[in-house]
Amino acid sequence: MPLPDRVPGLVISYVFLRRHQRDGGEEEGRKARPCAVVMTMTDEDGDRRVYVVPITHTPPDDDPHAVALPLKVKQRLGLDDQPSWIVTGELNWFVWPGYDLRPVRRDRSDVFAWGMLPVEIFEAVRSGIGRHRRDRTLKLTPRL
């Protein structure tokens, strides 16, 4: 199966590197997790960049603009039933498809995405990112 189109709102399996991990000297994320594509672009070298935010089970105490992921949406995507949030204050960017894109299941090494976020959830994520940009609290970590 070919790689999915890199479109905003797509939930992919990706090894996200948190800023505090990078600042502590780590170069790789600790685990593959669902991440939402929030923006794509082609840079001046023709590389296809993808910007993603992580989805986490840990309540994001340090992100007042995080977006709760409703259980109904998680079920439609095929994620677990535990409470989850989309972190909006921290992004990774990488050149598509990159080394850290992972299959969503061990028994299906050719599937890299769970599906699309609903429009209203995606818009809430974009709004949260925008608030962090205005507050100058947005953390952007390149993954090259």
The full set of domains in the chain, from first to last, is 10-143 (2.30.30.110)
| 3-state DSSP percent of the chain in helix, strand and coil, to 5 | 20, 35, 45
Nearest residue to 106 via CA among 13, 5, 10? 13
> pLDDT tens, 41-94?
999 999 999 999 999 999 988 899 999 999 999 999 999 999 999 999 999 999
Residue 133, CA distances (Å) to 19, 103, 104 in order: 16, 31, 30
> pLDDT tens, 11-27?
999 999 999 898 999 88
Residue-averaged pLDDT of the chain: 94
pLDDT for residue 1 = 55
Residue with tokens 């794509």: 40
